[in-house]
Structure 1
């Protein structure tokens, strides 16, 4: 099969998963059960998660994935961002939905979705990223909401979730012009007028990815770097995945501290939990889009 076929297959699978879990997730459900069940579904389809399932609640905008002993659950009256990725033969798709357990969040969620479609309407060969960003920003602003300025969509290439070209949700000076074959994740993040409109790093970090091999005398650190580079294909991973792969080798070890230590040494990238600066709730709507001669095709949503 062609690379394009792989993108479409992965996108169709991710669309089905998101549709199913949007209605399946209920208040009181365990976050770790949700994440592990979704990751298992992806694997059973003959594909792999492109990153750990993100379940970011309320003011948490992104990068929250459950850790091994996590007892967190879907809170009553919360707003939950479900962000999932699939990789098939190196072709990555990435999409997110916001699930509202209170009507007070519905408009914010709707605005994120509407801003996504405004972006897609602009996306065609020759269109500039700055025009796409402006479309997102203006829709959010006109609805009396705020975009998250320092979160952005991103270009995707084989085995690379973030390939160096961003799609900001705020006016941008990017002159990059879209061309046929480009694949982008477009993801408006929206908060209330009371929000700061930016996210800050929290003191929690649960997601990592391979950066480079660093010199170490620790056999465990060497194994972790090899795992990050080979088994996880350089893509984001988490402590849960490491424990499943390494099992007994980690007996009595603090895996979280091992990962954080390796990140400090420069062997891993770390992705702290991102929180709205004023603690306001955040909504997100994301799909992966492929540019064709005729415009943009949404890969991760039923047509």
Structure 2
């Protein structure tokens, strides 16, 4: 069952997603070598609660934390821990918020210190592929058009697309229908209609696309131990262009300031 959202509901979803964006901006200020993902997690939980939200992931199907922090070869669903981040690491930070009965969901892969150019290029392509997918998220297109745009962009650059983990609808539940794969055929899949709200989240690998689940029951990593990148926006499907409800603006303001100093 796909729930089409009213204009009022989309504004409530925008508020939840904007808080996710601001939380990721706070993470951007704190990420550096020596910081632990558990410290980032605590910071995120406090910021979300201070701003009238509830951490969306905490306790979700038993997940123990506010953030999913996936380092290097971890693809998604990494559990924050007390291991310090090292210079050259990359970490996908996925954050969810529940506010006004609606969820926000967005992810950004951060560089820690000085990152290898090959890995920087993967991050850049993954983020760009997200926007390629968003361009196709308009009424009248189909889910396959989104996945095809992401897949084509990344595979042309020699990267691989994780198949088992997909984007999803977002609303009063964290995960709603439809599923939004990052691969597919143009013109295939569910018809996109105005008022559909979906999370598009490319998970792209430097090596092969195969993944395994760690013994913790959550963490997904690449089978060949090569780095993976992950970026996610929640968007509302509209007639002419998708309405991006989440935001990287807060992250990018921080990163721009840091690079100037």
**TM-score bin, normalised by smaller chain:** 0.7 to 0.9
Contact 1:116 1:187 in 2 (8 A): yes
Contact 1:35 1:65 in 2 (8 A): no
Contact 2:235 2:243 in 1 (8 A): yes
Distance 2:69 2:188 in 1: 30
SS where residue 12 of structure 1 aligns? helix
What do residues 179-222 of structure 1 show as CA deviations (whole Å, max 9, x unaligned)? 11111110111111xx22022111113xxxxxxxxxxxxxxxxx
Among candidates 187, 191, 196, match of residue 177 of structure 1: 191
Is residue 249 of structure 2 the alignment partner of residue 296 of structure 1?
no
Equivalenced residue count is: 231
Residue 61 (structure 1) shift: 0.8
SS where residue 242 of structure 2 aligns? strand
Distance 1:186 1:21 in 2: 21
Q: Tell me what 2:165 maps to.
A: 151
Q: Tell me what 2:123 maps to.
A: 109
Runs of 4+ deviating beyond 6 Å: none
SS where residue 171 of structure 1 aligns? coil
Alpha-carbon spacing, 1:196–1:135, altered in 2? closer, same or farther (3 Å): same
Q: Tell me what 2:133 maps to.
A: 119
Contact 2:27 2:43 in 1 (8 A): no
Q: Tell me what 1:28 maps to.
A: 34
What do residues 254-292 of structure 1 show as CA deviations (whole Å, max 9, x unaligned)? xxxxxxxxxxxxxxxxxx210111111101111111112
Residue 171 (structure 1) shift: 1.9
Is residue 24 of structure 2 the alignment partner of residue 18 of structure 1?
yes
Alpha-carbon spacing, 1:302–1:76, altered in 2? closer, same or farther (3 Å): closer
Q: Tell me what 1:267 maps to.
A: none
Distance 1:5 1:131 in 2: 26
Q: Tell me what 1:203 maps to.
A: 215
Among candidates 89, 114, 117, match of residue 78 of structure 1: 89
What do residues 62-99 of structure 1 show as CA deviations (whole Å, max 9, x unaligned)? 11122xxx422212211110111111122111111111
Q: Tell me what 2:60 maps to.
A: none
Alignment map for 1:131-142 (pairs within 5 Å): 131-142=145-156
Distance 1:56 1:113 in 2: 16
Point out where structure 2 has 5 or more consecutive residues left out of the alignment: 1-6, 58-65, 250-261
Contact 1:289 1:297 in 2 (8 A): yes
Contact 1:62 1:275 in 2 (8 A): yes
Distance 1:112 1:18 in 2: 18
SS where residue 46 of structure 2 aligns? helix
Distance 2:116 2:247 in 1: 24
Alignment map for 1:29-44 (pairs within 5 Å): 29-44=35-50
